[in-house]
């Protein structure tokens, strides 16, 4: 009998120590979980929130008349963000305008922009869906190319051409027309060293993919916020996103005022996924004639 209690004790002791070891292990586990899980969750949340996806250039259809100070909102963000590249389209008169040089406001303001290394200026030329007379288009392009010599100012210059109103539907003669214009631009002296000269097309929507190679970049979206949401919902961009993102530009206007802060952040992130050049504005009329009230917020998100 004297042995039994001992056994009991020892058994109990054994049980007790098993139980306490289990408890200890459980407590340790809880402590580890409590310590590690929040850290993991917080880290992954932080990663998720901070990641804005691929970097993209700010694309600016600068159809703002350069009255004194009118381009300051652009100059301010350009100098504040030397790590962000800006592609800026100027349009003095539905193209370079009728004269050899644009007016004195333009000749004063353009060299200020081209002085920045993170700016690439493009001259606006319309093609009226590839129906415009090629000689008239060439004349416009040549006018831009002659600016530096005609003004004796090397900084009064563009580094490429933005062709507005290019077609979406494929036609063999249209491909030739567009390729011919691109060759003309690339061969011109006056637009700078060949490899730095850009050609941008604006069909405003995803064109036949055979046209993509005739430009350095193509505007595959130029429409309102609601339309972007619809096309995104319809996964319209997914086909081209992966292979050709660096050749794409997207312009989203008429963004509702309530899309700000976090929701503007996710919009910028979505558009950056689609295209390597991005413009987003809250203006819903004359989208490009001034800077919207969330212009700075947009550029900050492009820099993030
Ligand atoms: C420059 O812009 C100002 C303000 O719009 C205007 O009054 C002036 O006439 C312009 N100068 C030229 C040379 O067009
Ligand atoms: C900006 O442009 C420079 C020079 O072309 C290039 O090296 C750099 O990668 C560009 N950065 C972005 C974010 O596009
Ligand atoms: C384009 O315009 C030029 C000069 O005005 C003219 O000689 C030429 O025939 C026109 N070309 C076409 C295809 O209309
Ligand atoms: C500038 O262009 C005008 C008009 O085309 C021309 O008459 C003039 O000779 C040009 N000046 C220079 C320096 O190229
Ligand atoms: C991507 O770009 C290349 C060269 O510009 C072109 O040949 C190809 O068709 C494009 N791919 C798609 C899916 O559009």
Q: Is the CB of 131 under 6 A from ligand 3?
A: no
- What is the pLDDT at residue 63? 96
Residue 33 clears pLDDT 50, i.e. is over it:
no
Query: Which atom of ligand 5 lies closest to the CA of 244?
Result: 1
pLDDT exceeds cutoff 80 at 135: yes
Mean pLDDT of 186-201: 86
Provide the pLDDT confidence category of residue 8 given band limits of 50, 70 and 90.
Answer: very low
pTM as predicted: 0.83
pLDDT at 196: 83
Residue 130: which pLDDT band, with cuts at 50, 70 and 90?
very high
pLDDT at 123 over 90: yes
Q: Which of 243, 246, 247, 275 is the best mutation target for the ligand 5 pocket, counting ligand atoms within 8 Å of the beta carbon and taking the most?
A: 243
Provide the pLDDT for residue 1. 41
Q: What integer pLDDT is reported at residue 189 of this predicted model?
A: 84
Give the tens place of pLDDT for each residue, 37-59. Answer: 545 444 444 445 568 989 999 99
Q: Is the pLDDT of residue 34 over 70?
A: no
> Following DSSP, what letter does each residue of 189-239 receive, concatenated?
TTS-SGGG-EEEEE-SB---GGGGGGSSEEEEEEEEHHHHHHHHHTTTTHH
* pLDDT band, residue 244 (cuts 50/70/90): confident
Residue 206 in contact with ligand 5 by CB distance below 6 A: no
Q: What is the mean pLDDT of residues 114-118?
A: 96
Which residue has better confidence, 180 or 241?
180
What is the pLDDT, as a whole number, of residue 190? 83
Three-class DSSP category at 184: helix
Cα-to-centroid distance, 128 and ligand 1 (Å): 29
| Mean confidence (pLDDT) of the chain | 87
Is pLDDT above 90 for 145? Answer: yes
The whole-number pLDDT of residue 7 equals: 40
Residue nearest to atom 13 of ligand 5 (CA): 240
Contact (CB, 8 A) for 248 and 276: yes
> Ligand 1: which residue has its CA nearest to atom 10?
105
Measured from the CB, is residue 135 less than 6 Å from ligand 3? yes
Ligand 4 contact via 25 beta carbon (within 6 Å): no
pLDDT at 268 over 80: yes
pLDDT exceeds 90 at position 23: no
Give distance in angstroms: CA of 133 to centre of ligand 3: 6
Share of residues in the chain with pLDDT > 70 (%): 81
**For ligand 4, atom 13: residue with the closest CA:** 150
Place of tokens 């631009």: 185
CB distance 67 to ligand 1 below 6 Å: yes
Nearest ligand 5 atom, CA 240: 13
Question: Ligand 5 pocket, 263 CB below 6 A?
Answer: no
CA 277 to chain centre: 3
pLDDT at 277 > cutoff 90:
yes
Residue 101 confidence (pLDDT) above 50: yes
Q: Which atom of ligand 1 is nearest to the CA of 65?
A: 5
Cβ-Cβ contacts under 8 Å for 143 (sequence gap 6 or more): 95, 96, 97, 100
Tell me phi and psi for residue 50, to 5 degrees: -80, -25
100 C-beta closer than 6 A to ligand 4: yes
* 258 pLDDT more than 70: yes
- CA 266 to chain CA mean position, Å: 13
In this prediction, residue 236 has a pLDDT band, given cuts at 50, 70 and 90, of: confident
Q: How far apart are the CA of 125 and the centre of ligand 1, in A?
A: 23
Residue 151 Cβ inside 6 Å of ligand 4? The answer reads no
Distance from Cα 190 to the centre of ligand 3, integer Å: 25
pLDDT at 202: 97
Residue 219 CA to ligand 5 center (angstroms) comes to 14
pLDDT band for position 237 (cuts 50, 70, 90): confident
């Amino acid at each position: 009998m004297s042995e039994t209690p001992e056994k009991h004790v020892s058994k109990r002791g054994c049980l007790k120590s098993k139980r306490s070891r289990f408890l200890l292990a459980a407590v340790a586990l809880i402590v580890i979980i409590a310590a590690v899980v929040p850290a993991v969750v917080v880290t992954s949340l932080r990663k998720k929130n901070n990641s804005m996806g691929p970097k993209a250039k700010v694309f600016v259809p600068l159809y703002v008349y350069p009255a004194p100070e009118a381009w300051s909102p652009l100059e301010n963000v350009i100098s504040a963000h030397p790590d962000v590249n800006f592609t800026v389209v100027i349009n003095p008169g539905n193209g370079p305008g009728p004269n050899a040089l644009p007016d004195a406001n333009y000749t004063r303001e353009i060299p200020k922009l081209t002085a920045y290394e993170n700016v690439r200026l493009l001259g606006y030329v319309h093609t009226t869906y590839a129906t415009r007379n090629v000689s008239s288009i060439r004349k416009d392009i040549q006018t831009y190319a002659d600016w530096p010599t005609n003004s004796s100012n090397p900084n009064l210059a563009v580094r490429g051409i933005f062709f507005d109103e290019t077609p979406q539907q494929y036609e063999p003669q249209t491909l030739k027309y567009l390729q011919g214009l691109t060759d003309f631009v690339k061969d011109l002296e006056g637009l700078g060293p060949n490899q730095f000269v850009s050609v941008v097309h604006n069909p405003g929507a995803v064109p036949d993919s055979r046209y993509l190679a005739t430009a350095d970049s193509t505007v595959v979206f130029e429409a309102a916020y609601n339309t972007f949401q619809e096309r995104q919902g319809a996964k319209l961009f997914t086909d081209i996103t992966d292979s050709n993102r660096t050749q794409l530009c997207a312009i989203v206007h008429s963004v509702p005022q309530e899309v700000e802060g976090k929701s503007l952040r996710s919009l910028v992130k979505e558009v950056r996924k689609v295209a390597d050049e991005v413009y987003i504005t809250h203006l819903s009329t004359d989208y490009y004639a001034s800077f919207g009230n969330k212009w700075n917020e947009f550029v900050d998100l492009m820099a993030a």
